[in-house]
Amino acid sequence: MAKQKKNNKYTEEFKRDAVRLMRNRGERTVVQVADDLGVSDAMLYRWALKLDKASTAKRNEQGETLEQENRRLRKENEQLRMEKAILKKAAAFFAKESG
C-alpha cells in the first residue's frame, strides 16, 4: 500500500486497501487497524462509506442487479482463492529449495 504524504492526502489505492483491511480485520478492532495505518478510525469509516456509494453508483450505471453483482463477486472470490493457493504452494516450494 502506497501512502501519499502531500498535504496529508492518501491515494485511492491506499484508501481501498485500508477499507479492505478494516473489513477483513478478523479479531482486531477498527481502531487497531486505523492505528496500524496511521489514520483515524473515523477516516476509515468515511472512506468505506464513500467507496460503498461509488460502488452502488457504478452498479446502477452498469445496470447490474444485486444478484448479478453477487454472482460476479463470488466468481472473482473463487479466482482469488485459487491464486492464493497457487502462491502458497509456490512459496512453500521455494522455501524448501532455499533451505
41 exposure class (CB count in 10 Å sphere: 0-12, 13-18, 19+): middle
Q: What is the pLDDT of residues 19-41, one digit of tens each?
A: 999 989 889 999 999 999 999 99
Question: Residue 50 is part of which domain span?
Answer: 1-63
Domain match, 10 and 55 both: yes
10 exposure class (CB count in 10 Å sphere: 0-12, 13-18, 19+): buried
Q: What is the pLDDT of residues 34-93, one digit of tens each?
A: 999 999 999 999 999 998 888 777 777 777 788 888 898 999 999 999 999 999 999 988
Domain match, 11 and 32 both: yes
Per the structure, the count of domains in the chain is: 2
Domain match, 55 and 80 both: no
Q: For the whole model, what pTM was predicted?
A: 0.53
Domain match, 24 and 42 both: yes
- Nearest CA to 71 out of 59, 83, 61, 82 is that of 59
Domain match, 23 and 36 both: yes
